[in-house]
Amino acid sequence: MENLLKSTQAYRLLQKECAEQACSHAYLLLCDDGKNLKKILRYFVKLFFKEGKTATEFARISKLIDEENFTDCLFYPNSEKKLTVEDAERVREESLLSPVEGGRKVFVLSDFAEANPQTQNKLLKLLEEPPQGVHFLLGATSAFPVLPTVLSRTKKLEILPFNIEEVVACLRRMYNGRYKDEALTLCAAASGGVLGEAQSLLEGGDYQALLEQAFALLLAEPFRLPQAVHAVAETKHKKELLALLRLIFRDALLVKLGGTYQRSLLLSAELAKLQEVANRYTKNQLLHAQEVLSKAEQDVQFNSVFGQCLEVALATI
């Protein structure tokens, strides 16, 4: 994951500002990877303490941060709980105490999007005018639940979805031969560029079932479409299923184009089913599918009913 994060603009920006002693008093790190959000925050917050340290000193601080046991770097909330008003009050009290080892004290607040408006409001003044040497690193999987007043007081660091090749390379390093490349590629593609989603698909063994569900939807007879949608309406992998549908339509278009285009197939092991999809849809429909499913992903993100959203999208295509 380290190589993946170092490649992001968000990491390079914070690294530059920390090195130049030009840190903002509060940052909001936006990352759609809920599974790894806290781990990512731990990695980013180390940059606040790197400048001027020897390799040995920084290694010690990094280890303590990974254990969430460094005196000048405090994490809230505890474990997997939501940030509360009581947490916000403790942060305020702790912020009045001077740093122990240097000139900086950093509070890491995750997942801020889960905090209710009362908790967010409690921190407003502190985020705007923190004590000398105090900084905040807020993490959130989405900016929508974060109050506009909080957004205006923080500098945004956004980690955009990674491309499939980057996620596959990271998964290879993480799992070291435990999974075949076909499975890694499928999960990376279905994840929508979110590493944690790809990990969940791999570790849960859900990727093959998800692929079968996606093909079943695309190859269902029109009169059976409502039934096929109903069968997947309660899936826990809603975003991944939509991303996988887009991938199948993409590969089916490459199959339809034929020739050298097929070298770019990501689902080459499913060539027979891809050919079925290619035969069922026209080129224009296969192209239009990308736009329709992208919109469906946005609608689902805004809490649209998944089953209804999926059925409308497939019917539209």
Domains of the chain: 2-159 (3.40.50.300), 206-316 (1.20.272.10)
Ramachandran category for residue 58: left, alpha or beta (phi over 0 → left; psi -120 to 50 → alpha): alpha
Under 8 Å between Cβ of 72 and 105 = yes
* Residue 30: its H or E element: strand 26-31
Residue-wise pLDDT tens digits, 265-287 = 888 888 999 999 999 999 999 99
- The rounded distance, in Å, linking the Cα atoms of 295 and 288 is 11
Q: E strands of 63-190, at which residues?
A: 73-76, 105-109, 134-140, 155-159
pLDDT per residue of the chain (317 residues) written in tens, 0 to 9:
888 999 999 999 999 999 998 999 999 999 999 999 999 999 999 999 999 899 999 999 999 999 999 999 999 998 778 999 999 999 999 999 999 988 899 999 998 999 999 999 999 999 999 999 999 999 999 998 999 999 999 999 999 999 989 999 999 999 998 888 888 988 988 888 899 999 998 888 888 888 999 999 999 988 899 999 999 988 888 888 998 999 999 999 999 998 888 888 888 888 999 999 999 999 999 999 999 998 888 888 776 689 899 999 999 99
Task: Look up the pTM and report it.
Answer: 0.82
Residue-wise pLDDT tens digits, 173-211 = 999 988 888 889 889 888 888 999 999 988 888 888 889
Using alpha carbons, select from 75, 83, 80, 61 the residue that is nearest to residue 108: 75
* Residue 29: its H or E element: strand 26-31
Structure tokens at 152: 């205006």
